[in-house]
Amino acid sequence: MDKLNKLWSIVRRHKYLITLLLFAVLIGFLDENSIVRRMKLAHEELLLREEIEKYREEFEESTARLNELAVDSESIERIARERYFMKKPNEDVYVFEDDIAK
């Protein structure tokens, strides 16, 4: 009984601190919208925004390339030679390992 009285005495003396700590644990870790989860979601949002920006730049580059192909027939020939290693009938094509890696 003496131990229970000591425990009750400590709880009465520090009731606001204990309440504050319980609240912090509840909000920080156990709640559905906890601080830890919000930090993870914020990090995920940052990664997704970076990915969106990367795809936006890729889209703009592809659109510019498409517009170039629609206007200039020499561009089509250049891309066919560089990317697909096509050639004219009287030509010899030399392919280097660096060209294949691209």
Chain segment 55-69, per-residue pLDDT in tens: 999 999 999 988 888
The answer to whether the pTM exceeds 0.95 is: no
86 and 80 in contact (C-beta within 8 Å)?
yes
Statement: residue 92 has pLDDT above 80 = no
Q: Which two tokens stand for residue 59?
A: 């889209």
Q: What is the pLDDT of residues 18-43, one digit of tens each?
A: 999 999 888 888 878 888 889 999 99
pLDDT at residue 31, as a whole number: 79
Looking at residue 29, the DSSP 8-state letter turns out to be: I
79 and 69 in contact (C-beta within 8 Å)?
yes
Statement: residue 50 has pLDDT above 80 = yes
pLDDT at residue 100, as a whole number: 62
